[in-house]
Structure 1
Amino acid sequence: MPLDPDLEGFLELAEMGRLSGKSQPMHQLTPQAARAEFDLTSQILDPSPPGAINVSALQVPTRDGQLLAARLYRKIGTEQSVLPVILYFHGGGYVLGSLDSHDSICRRLAASGRHAVLAPAYRLAPEHPFPAAVNDAVDSANWLAREGAVLQLDPLKVTLAGDSAGATLATVLAISAVQHPEEMVLKPQAQLLFYPVADTQRTRPSHQRYAEGFLLESKTLQWFYRHYTPDAEQRGDWRTSPLLTQGLTTLAPAYISLAEYDPLYDEGLEYADLLKNTGTSVTLLTQNGLTHDFLRMSGITGDIVNIYSAVDSWLALH
């Protein structure tokens, strides 16, 4: 399917900025500069997220004694109700992304009032390379299992979710809940995976097809991986490349939503097939005409509202 015309116009403007020298490819920036630029894009991609949301600032303790900033999102009027919860991890290649950059996604997931959304800010590379993000994600999940009831959250009704690298963290938790129950107390009832990173070790045809000009670039992916896994052998670890997981068995039902114009598209399809082969219930969708990061694009194209609606309908059944 052709690229969404509104998104195509946005990408053309971005390319003009690059050609004029006003902007640079992300992989040519320092992590600090790339983070600042990435956070600013949220105001352009989704300038008017739902406002009728109660947002609470929290702190999540980690195994090394640090505290992670986190936010809890609930539709106004549900504060006294015990709600199922979506544990959401933001994307950004383990190098970028923040509670601010993905605030609009969390608001939209919480807007129906069907679920609360808990979003922890795991630590980023290169300051905190692998396995810091994984450890922070596990600690966040276990904290939710212990403390959720105090926050009017149902720790027995948790959906693990994320986009891009955040979706990879969600997959790692879902796998850990089955394969490493001694480490992972929380037992999820479902997974929401948006354009996950499934294999940091090997490239596929979609990495060449959409290498440049479709928002996420293949060179940027490699830039992410070098920061997060400076030792190339770490990219063979199943926690960075879930496609390499050995002995995988049935996991919580998964909703996998991929972008047609995304370097990660092929590995997303492979991961969906891997889950299906374990007997895991998989709902797989390709968002035609869209690129990586489409969840943050409600201000660019009208198609995104239907994506959130479909997610909400699926969650109502799981």
Structure 2
Amino acid sequence: MSLHPELETFLELITLGRMSGQNKPLHALSVEQARVVFEQTSLVLDPDPPKSITVTAVLIPTRDGKTIRARLYRKTGKVSEKLPVILYFHGGGYVVGSLDSHEGICRRLAWYGDFAVLAPEYRLAPEYRWPVAVEDALDTANWLSKQGAAFDLDSAHVVVAGDSAGATLATTLAITSVKHPDWMEVKPIAQLLFYPVTDTTRLRASHRDYGKGYLLESETLEWFYQHYVETDQRSHWTISPLLISDIPILPPTYIRLAKFDPLHDEGSAYAQLLQTHGTCVQLTVENALTHDYLRMGGIVDEVDNIYKETILWLKSIQSQLNF
């Protein structure tokens, strides 16, 4: 299957811009420039996310005495209901991305389902290198366990979720909840992983085939990793969960990939690893899309169906758990 027509047109415009000296890839920019460019893409990719969402600002304390911002999203009309929670971590290679860049994703997840969505703004590299992002994720989960009830959140029914590097943080929490239960008070009921980073130590065929010209580029990935972590640390399971030596059985897992994505092969390998070791996995590949499609609701109509299908899967998990 070929690229989705609207997405192909969008990529052609990017290519034309580069030929004229504009639209440089993120790895050709400074960190500050890359962050600005990434934020601006949200205005193009998803300019009109659902409006009937109540958004509450939250401050979450971290283990080093600081606080990080977070946003809590819930469908208007369900403000006073106690709701299960999707704990969502934005993508961006640990270097770019923010609450604003992924506002549309969080609004759509809250709109299509009967979940509240809690999105923390974990600290980014290179100012904060590994393991700060992981620690911020853990601190957010433990805050949710202690303080969730004050915000009408059901911390007994939490789904960890994210896209790209954010999906890596989500699966790190899922692994931690089983492997090191004393580190984390929340016990996720499921995980949603959209085009996750699972192995930062090597390149696979999808890097060769789709590592340039398909939005996310392999050189950009390497640029992210160099800012985030030392080379000799990349095999740690919180950075490259595919390389974990003793993967436990994890909560039911929903993995959704893109064919035209350098991360496709490692995401597929991670799904296989989980299945082989006893985790229930739902794997879907979007055969006409690229990395970052969750943020493309404004240019690819089919993205709405991805959210709807994701929520249907979550409802099936709720049904199995009888809540």
TM band (smaller chain)? over 0.9
Q: Aligned with 1:56: secondary structure?
A: strand
Structure 2 equivalent of residue 266 of structure 1: 265
Structure 1 equivalent of residue 125 of structure 2: 125
Partner Cα distance (1:169, 1:154) in 2: 21
Given the alignment of the two structures, is residue 235 of structure 1 paired with residue 234 of structure 2, yes or no?
yes
Letter in 1 for 2:199: D
Q: What do the CA deviations read for 1:95-114 (whole angstroms, capped 9, x no partner)?
A: 00000000000000000351
Structure 1 equivalent of residue 63 of structure 2: 63
8 A Cα contact 1:91 1:164, kept in partner: yes
8 A Cα contact 2:113 2:311, kept in partner: no
8 A Cα contact 1:59 1:69, kept in partner: yes
Structure 1 equivalent of residue 149 of structure 2: 149
Shift of 1:142: 0.7
Letter in 1 for 2:283: L
8 A Cα contact 1:256 1:282, kept in partner: yes
Partner Cα distance (1:182, 1:244) in 2: 22
Structure 2 equivalent of residue 283 of structure 1: 282
Partner Cα distance (2:276, 2:112) in 1: 33
Identical aligned residues as a percent: 57
Show the 5 A alignment for 1:163-174. Answer: 163-174=163-174
8 A Cα contact 1:160 1:174, kept in partner: yes
Shift of 1:202: 1.1
Q: What do the CA deviations read for 1:272-301 (whole angstroms, capped 9, x no partner)?
A: 001101111100000111000000001111
Q: Aligned with 1:16: secondary structure?
A: helix
Partner Cα distance (1:158, 1:278) in 2: 23
Letter in 2 for 1:145: S
Q: What do the CA deviations read for 1:14-52 (whole angstroms, capped 9, x no partner)?
A: 111111012211101011100000001001000110000
Partner Cα distance (2:113, 2:195) in 1: 25
Given the alignment of the two structures, is residue 257 of structure 1 paired with residue 256 of structure 2, yes or no?
yes
8 A Cα contact 1:78 1:113, kept in partner: no
Structure 1 equivalent of residue 293 of structure 2: 294
Letter in 2 for 1:314: W
Q: Aligned with 2:303: secondary structure?
A: helix
8 A Cα contact 1:235 1:241, kept in partner: yes
Structure 2 equivalent of residue 33 of structure 1: 33
Q: What do the CA deviations read for 1:196-252 (whole angstroms, capped 9, x no partner)?
A: 0000011101000001000000000000000001x2011011110001112112100
Q: Aligned with 2:114: secondary structure?
A: coil
Show the 5 A alignment for 1:80-91. Answer: 80-91=80-91
What value does the CA root-mean-square deviation take over the aligned residues? Answer: 0.6
Partner Cα distance (1:77, 1:87) in 2: 20
Partner Cα distance (1:303, 1:112) in 2: 14
8 A Cα contact 1:90 1:166, kept in partner: yes
Partner Cα distance (1:79, 1:301) in 2: 30
Q: Aligned with 2:234: secondary structure?
A: helix
Q: Aligned with 1:160: secondary structure?
A: strand
Letter in 2 for 1:298: G
Q: Aligned with 1:236: secondary structure?
A: coil
8 A Cα contact 2:87 2:117, kept in partner: yes
Partner Cα distance (2:235, 2:255) in 1: 22
Structure 1 equivalent of residue 116 of structure 2: 116
Partner Cα distance (2:62, 2:207) in 1: 35
Q: What do the CA deviations read for 1:55-76 (whole angstroms, capped 9, x no partner)?
A: 0110000000111000000000
Structure 1 equivalent of residue 98 of structure 2: 98
Shift of 1:317: 1.2
Letter in 1 for 2:278: G
What 5-or-longer segments of structure 2 have no aligned partner?
Answer: 318-323
Q: Aligned with 1:135: secondary structure?
A: helix
Partner Cα distance (1:288, 1:205) in 2: 16
Structure 2 equivalent of residue 78 of structure 1: 78
Q: Aligned with 1:125: secondary structure?
A: coil
Partner Cα distance (1:211, 1:109) in 2: 29
8 A Cα contact 1:237 1:244, kept in partner: yes
Show the 5 A alignment for 1:171-182. Answer: 171-182=171-182
Shift of 1:145: 0.9
Letter in 2 for 1:103: E
TM-score by length of 1: 0.99
Which of structure 1's runs of 4+ aligned residues deviate more than 4 A? none
Partner Cα distance (2:310, 2:69) in 1: 26
